Structure 1
């Protein structure tokens, strides 16, 4: 009998997706469930909502709260944190690398390390050299991986993920889909897992 599966929709520019990426794997192993990693782009979805920037920038009071909240929650989860100089960052290349390598055992390490350099080391994840260094640290060949990720076929996969997210009614990240139902936010991860287990 196959294990129940939770779809984890994440965007590399998302602060709260960092929290989930830092704890979802160990939590899934503990709860006996599988994770379906679903990178997508929030930019087109925000545009649908009439936003040209992160709501945390559009609404400064909300943004100020978010950074303080992130500081508290990264400490709670044992994740490193230092507010980046640029927010939001462009996670397009990182998302393409991820979606091209979802079947690789190192991909979740790449995801988490990318979040860490973005949200604790003040590095720019849109920079190919930054992503190359992460891949090298995981024992991978950056040139081959990045080249493959930039193929038209792979670019289309990311576009399809983003369109699927739109159709599912996803409006932010992280989001979780369980039996067609949407749970939004890192603080809903446990609820999503509980819901999944109760219906499996």
Structure 2
């Protein structure tokens, strides 16, 4: 039977992507939708908009609101939440790993585990020991995976993924793209994106 597809675009530095990552597979199972994990770098997207930092930092009032909102939303979903000491964290190594592990269908488990370590426990994702710990707990050869994720091939693929994100009109994380090209932004649009991907439409929408 044909299964619908939903692309989940995310940067590991995004705390709202943490909430989406921890919920998306259960919703996908309900709707019989296949999730494609699409890690990319948000920094170049922000730079193209003239931003040199996370909007959490560029707009302090907005940042204060978001941290409080993240605590509320995490509690609502029954997820632990602890903001990292330094924000935004450097996600480059993590994104490269996520992209590399997609080849072996390990991107989902790795992403959930690293998001949980970062925003559930407050551990620094840029720390090689944190990455190695997450990989090892998943039964992945940490040294080999980290080394392979730093290859020229993975670096080129990441540049291509980030450029595809830009060309498709992505401006934040998490973003969800359905098979017919409908774009949804934000954890609070996950349910709507999943329903759309499954072929459900709001009344009056084609």
2:153 maps to 1:147:
no
Instruction: Render the CA deviation track for 1:160-191: whole Å, top value 9, x for unaligned.
Output: 11000000000000001121121100111111
Q: Which residue of 2 aligns with 1:5?
A: 5
163-172 or 78-87, which moves further after superposition? 78-87
CA distance in 2, matches of 1:197, 1:105: 22
What is the match of residue 110 of structure 1?
110
Equivalent residue for 1:124?
124
Structure-to-structure mapping, 1:93-104, within 5 angstroms: 93-104=93-104
The equivalent residue for 2:204 is none
Residue 52 of structure 1 aligns to a residue whose secondary structure is: coil
Please give the alpha-carbon distance, in whole angstroms, between the structure 2 residues aligned to 1:5 and 1:157.
21
Q: How far apart, CA to CA, are the structure 1 residues paired with 2:114 and 2:126? A: 10
Aligned to 1:27: 27
SS at match of 2:124: coil
- Following TM superposition, by how much is the alpha carbon of 1:199 offset from its aligned partner in structure 2, in angstroms? 6.5
Name the TM-score, length of structure 2 as normaliser.
0.93
In 2, distance between residues paired with 1:123 and 1:23?
A: 21
Mapped pair 1:193 → 2:194: yes
Uncovered stretches (5+) of structure 1, i.e. residues with no partner: none
| Superposition deviation, residue 155 in structure 1 | 0.9
1:123 deviates by: 1.5
| CA positional deviation for 1:105 | 4.4
* 1:148, distance to aligned residue in structure 2 (A): 0.7
The one-character-per-residue Cα deviations of 1:1-38 (angstroms, maximum 9, x if unpaired) are 32000010000000110000010011101111100110
Partner residue, 2:172: 172
94-103 vs 15-24, greater mean Cα deviation: 94-103
Give the total of aligned pairs. Answer: 200
- Distance of 1:41 and 1:147 partners within structure 2: 19
Length-normalised TM-score, structure 1: 0.96
Q: Hey, which bits of structure 1, 4+ residues long, moved more than 3 A? A: none
Give the whole-Å Cα distance in 2 for the aligned partners of 1:23 and 1:90: 24
**Where does 1:128-139 land on structure 2 (aligned, <5 Å)?**
128-139=128-139
Q: 1:15: which partner in 2?
A: 15
